[in-house]
């Protein structure tokens, strides 16, 4: 089984989006619509990308129209501790782990969704002809440098 996330997974019927589950601010206030296709091919990935662009424009307009009139700020932490966070990128969830010691970042680790998507490129290209590879590769658009994080 492959762990397709982001638009690649949603183009193949995976209805996963970190903005919805586990969820994080401010998306719960704006009725995020996550497009999902079933075909899993290049055309489905293109349709997902187009639908996500339309949804992004709607979200930006709604968020700008609802900005609070106050300063949005948070004081940096002064203590020590660690935490794990996730943010949805167009490739899927990007996980971040952070350690703070005496108010300063001492360690950080990020895991890009591309780590799980490179096997998808191989799988998708296995049944096609060589001339199809560039289109398949770029339609999945896994990050070369994201694996090195």
For the chain, the structural domain boundaries read 6-143
Q: Give the span between the Cα atoms of 120 and 140, in whole angstroms.
A: 8
- For position 1, what pLDDT does the model report? 45
pTM score of the predicted model:
0.77
More confident residue, 76 or 105: 105
- Percent of the chain's residues with pLDDT above 90: 58
- Percent of the chain's residues with pLDDT above 70: 99
Pick from 6, 13, 3: nearest CA to 39: 13
pLDDT exceeds cutoff 80 at 2: no
Only one residue has tokens 């990935």, namely 45
- 141 phi and psi, to 5 degrees? 60, 45
- For position 119, what pLDDT does the model report? 85
């Amino acid at each position: 089984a492959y762990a397709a996330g982001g638009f690649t997974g949603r183009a193949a019927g995976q209805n996963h989006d970190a903005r919805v589950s586990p969820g994080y601010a401010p998306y719960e206030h704006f009725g995020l619509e996550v497009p999902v296709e079933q075909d899993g091919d290049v055309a489905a990935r293109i349709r997902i990308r187009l639908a996500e662009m339309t949804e992004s424009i709607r979200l930006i307009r709604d968020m700008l129209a609802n900005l609070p009139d106050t300063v949005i700020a948070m004081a940096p932490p002064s203590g020590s501790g660690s935490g794990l966070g996730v943010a949805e990128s167009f490739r899927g969830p990007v996980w971040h782990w952070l350690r703070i010691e005496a108010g300063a970042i001492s360690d950080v680790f990020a895991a890009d969704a591309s780590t799980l998507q490179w096997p998808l490129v191989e799988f998708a290209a296995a049944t096609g002809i060589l001339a199809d590879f560039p289109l398949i590769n770029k339609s999945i658009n896994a990050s070369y440098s994201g694996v090195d994080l």
